[in-house]
Amino acid sequence: MLIGKIVEVRGIKILAKMDQKLPPHIIENGNIIPAPQINSYVKTRVGLDIIICQIVGEYLKFDNNESKEIAYLVELEVKGRITNGKFLGGLRLLPIVEAKIETLEKEDFEIIFYRPKESIKIGKNLFDNSNDIALDINQLIPSHIGIFGNTGSGKSNTMSKILKEYIEKIENLPQKDNSKILIFDLNNEYGGNAICNEEKKKIFNLNTRKDNASKIPFDFKELSAEDWGIILNATEKTQMPIIRKAYENSKKELDLDNHRGLNLIKRIIYNRKNTMFYSIRNYAEQYFENIDRIKFNGKTGEFYYDNNNYNLKSLEDIDKLGIRIKPIENSLDRFEFELLLEIVQRNENGINFEYISPLMFRMANKKLQLLKIFESSTEELENGIFENKNICVIQLGNVNKEMKEVIPSLISNILYDNKTESKGNNEVKSILNIVIDEAHNLLSSSKEETEMHGNSLKTFEKIIKEGRKFGVYLMIASQRPSDISTTITSQLQNYFIHKLVNPNDIEKIRKTVAYMNEASLNMVTVLGAGECIISGNALYIPQYAYIDELENEFKPNSANVKLVGERGILE
């Protein structure tokens, strides 16, 4: 339907004069269609090509006396062209003056908003609810996804909707086990039937305050030296070399009779280094026989054996004590043992004990916490946590702050490393989507964050930079995109932008999201609940969408508290 003509072309700024002011809807061939309005699309032609433009502004023009209306004008922005039945984005072709502008026909919509067979429907077009929003599953799921919006804007619903539609899409496919979704649930919102029926997913409700909570099957042999560095919040220059050496030693066969630890203990006693001795006895007594009977006389400055009460003045005296290393079967204990010895060894070699001794306390403390979260298993981590299901939810609401940061990066790093090792020179045969809601808690880049946080962040920055090659992808949701590492936001491939009002957040979106013009950014501040702007690889041009609301049964437990009325907490 012809509705006007191009009257001005100044670079990419296009001005069109409309034939008349249009009502909210137009009847064409008996069908009611929305009239062109702000953010909707029109077309114009250059030869055989069709140029698609978006309306970004409209205004009236009056005569010189401003008493008579003489023109109804709209400002257009070129989004791309339709050539040979395909939509191509960009500015390669621009409109010409006097060219007619028309409303889009159904065929045009189908080309621009191409809906392949393998797609998932997530909502409706915000300005035309007769058009569904469906996204190409092959461009959406195997991609890094960012979902941003203020509290209550609908970002959790959007994330859950995407995952629910995806799970339903693949649940009857023969190779569905090649796709896994790992959700790190920081606030325990995705248990029960959230997203899908509970029996379709494996849920670990972790708790560092109790010993009888659910635990993740885990083989501590899978931990690398870098993993231990993250767990122990190690400094790179001083403490990481100790961890790497201890890790290397822990992989060697344990020789109980000739282990360097025996000679180390003897030298410490002989040289009367009581601080170092008690450090070992306090943290590693369980690994030695007879070491608990040795004491130190502060007045004489000598060690003695309390049973016979004689001083240990020579190596011969010390040999008679029968200090032995106990068999160590557990890989977690073995690493702790080697770490403690390496700390003492480095101190003996001249490194200030104050710089490296904190590792002893951290190791003892983290070991207790790890044993509240993990249970020993020889099964590969991915198989252990998914148990032949497509979704695993790791709930961290009852986990202390330090372990809440450590666990996601630790598990993600191991799964990522396993993917890189299994791929070799072959094509990617399986994918893993790592999902983090309230991602600003884990992925912030503030200079005030701890070194532990920095080590943890490096894991996810590595995944978002390299994960695509190995089939590992991130899906993050956050109310504060400005807090999230720029490395991560800049590598996202599909964006769902809900309402944002903080200027810093909007500026972050301006710098990172492709094809977001000023008109779209201005719209971000006034979007309603459930409304969002979608931009990225999964569609040709950004779209304004209203995301379908999940059924109550499948909603995450993230709704605002209701005070009064049906199911209100005060009723």
Q: What's the confidence (pLDDT) of residue 344?
A: 83
Q: Which residue has the tokens 């026989």?
A: 289
When comparing pLDDT for 261 and 76, which is higher? 76
Query: Where are the domains positioned within the chain?
Result: 2-112, 132-213+378-554, 225-371
pLDDT digits (tens, 9 = 90+) for 308-327: 566 666 667 777 777 888 89
Note the pLDDT of residue 265: 83
Which distant-in-sequence residues (6+ apart) come within 8 Å of 327 by Cβ? 254, 256
Place of tokens 């060894």: 345
pLDDT bucket at 168, cuts 50 / 70 / 90 = very high
Q: What does 264-316 look like in DSSP terms, one character per residue?
A: HHHHHHHTT-HHHHHHHHHHHGGGEESGGGEEEETTTTEEEETTTTEE--SHH
Identify any residues that bridge with 272 across adjacent strands, giving them in sequence order.
none
Sign of the CA dihedral running 26, 28, 34, 38: negative
Q: 325 pairs with which residues across the strands?
A: 288
Per-residue burial over 299-335, b if 16 or more Cβ lie within 10 Å, else e, is eeebbbbeeeeeebeeeebbeebebebeebeebbbbb
Lowest mean pLDDT among 27-41, 141-155, 222-236: 27-41
Contacts of 447 (CB under 8 A, 6+ apart): none
Sequence-distant (≥ 6) Cβ neighbours of residue 232 within 8 angstroms: 239, 243, 359, 362, 363, 366
- Closest to 71 measured CA to CA, from 79, 63, 60, 82: 60
* Cβ atoms 195, 158 nearer than 8 A: no
pLDDT beyond 60 at 447: no
Distance CA(413)–CA(410), nearest Å, equals 5
pLDDT band at 16 (very low <50, low <70, confident <90, very high): very high
Measured from the Cβ of residue 167, the count of other Cβ atoms closer than 10 Å reads: 20
> What tens digit of pLDDT does each residue of 386-411 get?
998 999 999 999 999 888 888 999 99
Question: How far apart, in whole angstroms, are the C-alpha atoms of residue 542 and residue 423?
Answer: 34
Contact present, 531 and 155 (Cβ < 8 Å): no
CA distance 385 to 382: 6
**8 Å CB contact between 497 and 533:** yes
Query: 497 with 524: CB under 8 angstroms?
Result: yes
- Do 48 and 29 contact (CB within 8 A), yes or no? no
Q: Which residue has the tokens 């001795």?
A: 277
Looking at every residue in the chain, the average pLDDT score rounds to 86
Residue 252, C-beta contacts closer than 8 angstroms, at least 6 positions apart: none
Query: Of the ranges 38-42, 59-63, 146-150, 553-557, which is most confident?
Result: 146-150
Nearest alpha-carbon partner for 406 in 122, 206, 239: 206
First to last CA, the chain: 56
- State the burial class of residue 8 (Cβ atoms within 10 Å of its Cβ: 0-12, 13-18, 19+): middle
The fraction of the chain above a pLDDT of 70, given in percent, is 92
Mapped onto helix, strand or coil, the DSSP state of residue 339 is helix
Q: Are strands 216-218 and 494-497 parallel, antiparallel or unpaired?
A: unpaired
Q: How far apart are CA 334 and CA 233, in angstroms?
A: 19
Opening angle at CA 201, ends 559 and 375, nearest 5:
110
Q: Check: CB of residue 173 under 8 Å from CB of residue 533.
A: no
Measure CA 473 to chain center: 8
DSSP code for 210: -
pLDDT tier at 355 (50, 70, 90 boundaries)? confident
Helix (H, G, I), strand (E, B) or coil at 45: strand
pLDDT beyond 80 at 172: yes
pLDDT classification of 21: cutoffs 50, 70, 90: confident
Which band of pLDDT confidence, cut at 50, 70 and 90, is reported for residue 28? low
Between these two residues, 350 and 246, which has the higher pLDDT value?
A: 246
Q: Is the pLDDT of residue 567 over 90?
A: no
Q: Is the pLDDT of residue 495 over 90?
A: yes
Q: What is the pLDDT, as a whole number, of residue 515?
A: 67
From CA 560, how far away is CA 539, in angstroms rounded? 32
Kind plus residue range of the DSSP H or E element containing 455: helix 451-466
CA distance 532 to 495: 10
The confidence band for 38, taking pLDDT boundaries of 50, 70 and 90, is: confident
- Which uninterrupted H or E stretch holds 532? strand 531-536
Joined together, the tokens standing for residue 9 give: 């072309």
d(CA 537, CA 137): 10
What pTM, to 2 d.p., does this model score?
A: 0.84
Strand-pairing partners, residue 297, are 302
Comparing CA positions, the residue from 37, 77, 73 lying closest to residue 54 is 77
Rounded CA-CA distance 185/394 in Å is 6
Q: Is residue 82 over pLDDT 60?
A: yes
Q: What is the pLDDT of residue 311?
A: 66
Please count the helices (runs of H) and the strands (runs of E) in the chain. Answer: 18, 27
pLDDT surpasses 70 at 559: no
| Collapsed DSSP state (helix, strand, coil) of residue 77 | strand
3-state SS assignment for residue 243: helix
What is the token pair recorded at 52?
Answer: 């698609």
Which of 7-16, 139-148, 508-517 holds the top average pLDDT? Answer: 139-148
Q: Per residue in 188-224, pLDDT tens?
A: 999 999 999 999 999 999 998 887 778 999 989 888 8
62 and 104 in contact (C-beta within 8 Å)? no
Give mean pLDDT, residues 35-51: 85
pLDDT above 90 covers a percentage of the chain that reads 38
pLDDT, tens digit, for every residue of 264-284? 888 888 888 888 788 888 888
Q: When comparing pLDDT for 25 and 269, which is higher?
A: 269
Q: Which amino acid belongs to residue 231?
A: I
Q: What is the mean pLDDT of residues 162-179?
A: 92
Can you name the CATH fold of 132-213+378-554? Answer: Rossmann fold (3.40.50)
